[in-house]
Structure 1
Amino acid sequence: MTDADPAAGDAPAGDPAAIRRRTPAWTREQATNLARVDDAVKPVIYPPADPVSDEVYLWDTWLLRERDGSVADVGGYRVAFALTAPRDLLPGKRHDVATIRCFYSADGESWENAGPVFEHSDPLGSRQWAGCALWDPDGEGPSDLYCYYTAAGEAGETDLSYTQHIALATGGTLAVDGDPDDPDGLAVAGTFTHESLLRPDGVRYETEEQSRGMIYTFRDPWFFTDPATGETHLLFEANVPVPEGSDACDGDAVAQEFNGAIGIADSPTGDPTEWELRDPLLHSTCVNQELERPHVVVRDGRYYLFVSSHEHTFAPGIEGFDALYGFVADSLHGEYRPLNDTGLVLTNPGNAPFQTYSWLAFPHEEELLVTSFFNYYDLEGRSLDDVADLPPEEQFRRFGGTLSPTIRLELDGDRTRVLGKLKHGHIPLPHEALPELPTRSVGGRRGGYR
């Protein structure tokens, strides 16, 4: 059997165990040393005076980018896409109705709502989960705007399912001065056509039927052009198959259920609509079940691979956090090693462990900037499971549902360090000077909020 059409889900030749063995892994030895070190902890944050929207929550957010990964400029606007849900819905139910909306900003601080992206077309699935967006007006493809997203569930289903596949919408565009109600703004124009791009093959990537874990994943596409090769890739979150009876995790059947992976597909021609599945970049069998929203930053010839994950998706015996984790290699398909020895890059403080989530790192001058959304705060020691037991008015009060402050990171080889923060939702222009960092006397280094 040879590799077949990945969109059809046909299995490639190969053995799942052999694929795991040849794929770089985040190991238990590395992850058991996770700790809230000062250089990785962000400050406690507070609700902004004005959230991005009074009508909808927004959470997982991604910036419109060009092929080279730079933040796109559309008529002087920075553009972001986010999962959204009405603010009169209990926050814990938002994933069941998630809809992608577009937001834009002229100054990178004040954001305007351009409305639902797929208002005039029928997206795949019963709701949309996280993705990415490519702005390619000078490309040779069929569109200038490519909206990749996770199609969750099946269209028209009565009872929500958790089937996931990666989808693409093309044909629509972004029009400056295109909204008669806001002639100075930006609008989503045109009609999108939707297609299913990728489904798990059962050998490289686990299918829903194979899943034994707490959460099944095949989602979160992220477009990437390798600057060293010019090749085009699509990263995504997945799980690797670990059949019952496997010798993985020394035969520990419970630990085997924690089998997260960062998947990748290639476009042989660079066409943003045509993809072929390849072996994973990294897996976390025996360590973590969910490596969300993978993305890459290239700096000084090194490839920095970032993911978000939760404290509750770590295997028994490992105490992790809701945090941004990272790995570094000398090439995209290289031997990844965890940043800061354990993989921990950025996490919430111990007295506000769930205040932000869904981090996205991007370069700005000599620093990395990290966006996220304002999640649950003022929980007074409660877990996320405890939130559902609170009265509805308290659930509403304790959920942010807007952009959180942008965090500034120093990146030095295989080490990172929190420097400080910008305002809620601040996305600086390229080459925009950032505020001077105050000096702190910790080993003679500079810091931000401490």
Structure 2
Amino acid sequence: MTTSPTVPHGLRPVAWTRAHLDRLAHSATTTAPVIRGPLPRVLPADDIWDMWPVQDEDGSACLIHGRELWMGLSAPAVGHPEERHDVARIRLLATGDDGWTDLGHVFADGASLGSREWSGSAVRRSDGTISVFYTASGLRGEARPTFVQRIIEVRPKLITNDGGAVIEGSAEHREIVRSDGRTYLIADEIEGGPGRIRAFRDPGWFRDPADGREYLLIAASTAWDDRYTGAVALAGADAGGWSLRAPLLVADGVNHEIERPHVIVHDSSYYLFFCTQRHSFEPSDSAPTGLYGFVAPSLTGPYEPLNGSGLVIRNPPEQPDQAYAWLVLNDLRVASFLNYRGRPGTGAWPAEASAARAAFGGTLAPMLTLTLDSATSSLT
């Protein structure tokens, strides 16, 4: 049995419900094409996943010498792919017509506040600095990985040169917003693993053109009884720092783990996107791994699901795990990474290390493009 959440500011989140998911239908307009053949690797010797562009303050992609600046999680491409989460580091990259250039780790060894770094976002400021928002997972110096999650901002200088860009490594790493334990569960578990832990991570930066204020969208877990409590939390910037707001969306009883929430504004509507995996639904496999979305007239709603169900992009049924971590850009390009490819109906992540490694992509998947029309989306 569930109880009503404690919701700050009197706002009510939209509930993503089983009734929405019952409207989900297989359609070519929401199904990604099968990815065939090998793909070029962004990093030859490292896996990369959960990529995001560095934004300018108007939300557009940051350009350095005509090339887009990006970040992404990286780890050496060895061993079982699921172990990459235990050693993840944020990498700085540039991309243009000549492909991808590796600009190295964003932070110096031992600088971040966790034992590893998980997803976030970044924005270039007018004073020559760059705000990097990331998830500090675990604790610095811990003997083995724990699953403590904290939202961190660091604001180093971004120095451009003929080779691209360099981030100065001396800026302070600060925890800027905490789960309150009332509306949102505190993500401080010692034991766990991907898909089995509470969430307070993946800060996605957004400036609302309606009021000019900055916000963070955070993948969270609501603090009431049901185990399936995935949510999109909202934090707003003010003179004193960042403060938690009401969740934008809750998936009480429907989904355990909503990830990488973000918002874009298109044709004066606010589009809230997030991704989740098929094993995170209740019951498991009752909906596909994919990108899901809602639309509203303002940042705080009221939201309605795109395409009736919320489904925006799903993996094809014959390759249900081929891509993940979709991110919709302002120009409606959609980035994701090549995850597991294998026989239909099987999951490669439980396999032993060599089989899982053979099935894992660990690089950028082909870009997709969306068309958005009010509460309808389609792949173009």
Aligned partner of residue 94 in structure 1, secondary structure: helix
Q: What is the distance in 1 between the residues matched to 2:231 and 2:110?
A: 32
Query: Aligned match of 1:56 in 34, 46, 55?
Result: 46
Q: Aligned partners of 1:161, 1:313: CA distance in 2, in Å?
A: 21
Select the structure with the greater relative contact order (CA < 8 A; seq sep ≥ 6).
2
The 2-side partners of 1:113 and 1:47 are apart by 24
Q: How big is the shift at 1:385? A: 4.4
Instruction: State how 1:187-226 maps to structure 2 within 5 Å.
Output: 187-208=166-187, 214-226=196-208
* Residue 87 in structure 1 maps to residue 48 in structure 2: no
Contact 1:287 1:318 survives alignment (8 Å): no
Using structure 1 for the length normalisation, give the TM-score: 0.78
CA distance, structure 2, for counterparts of residue 393 and residue 192 of structure 1:
40
Q: Aligned to 2:372, which of 411, 415, 419? A: 411
Counterpart AA for 2:333: L
**Structure 2: how far apart are the matches of 1:354 and 1:193?**
38
Counterpart contact for 2:12–2:246, Cα < 8 Å: no
Deviation of residue 121 (structure 1)?
A: 5.6
Report the Cα distance in structure 1 between the residues aligned to 2:305 and 2:62, rounded to whole angstroms: 30
8 Å CA contact 2:11–2:246 kept in 1: the answer is: no
One of 90, 99, 104 as aligned partner of 1:115: 104
Q: Is the 8 A contact 1:47 1:400 kept in 2?
A: no
Residue of 224, 231, 255 corresponding to 1:261? 231
Q: Take 2:170 and 2:179, find their aligned partners in 1: how far apart are those partners?
A: 28
Q: Deviations over 1:378-406 (max 9, x none)?
A: 345321444x23xx433222111000100
Whichever structure has more strand as a proportion of its residues is 2
After superposition, give the CA deviation of every residue in 1:96-143 in whole Å (9 maximum; x if it has no partner): 100101110232x6001111111266101110000001111x24xxx6
Question: Displacement of 1:47 after TM fit?
Answer: 4.5
Percent identity of the aligned residues? 37
Aligned 8 A contact 2:158 2:165 in 1: no
Q: Which ranges of structure 1 fall in alignment gaps of 5 or more residues?
A: 1-14, 178-183, 244-255, 420-450
Shift in CA distance, 316/396, structure 1 to aligned 2, threshold 3 Å: closer
Number of equivalent positions: 373
Tell me whether 1:299 sits opposite 2:266 in the alignment: yes
C-alpha deviations, 1:294-313, integer Å up to 9, x for none?
Answer: 11111121100000001111
Which whole-Å CA distance do the structure 2 matches of 1:235 and 1:322 have between them? 21
The residue type equivalent to 1:39 in the other structure is T
Q: TM-score, normalised by structure 2?
A: 0.92
**Deviates further, 113-122 or 325-334:** 113-122
Letter in 1 for 2:182: V
Q: Check the 8 A contact 2:115/2:142 in 1, yes or no.
A: yes
Alignment of 1:48-447 (within 5 A): 48-107=38-97, 110-119=99-108, 122-136=111-125, 138-139=126-127, 144-177=129-162, 184-208=163-187, 214-243=196-225, 256-269=226-239, 274-316=241-283, 319-364=286-331, 368-386=332-350, 388-389=351-352, 392-419=353-380
Deviation at 1:335? 1.1
Alpha-carbon offset, residue 363 of structure 1: 2.9
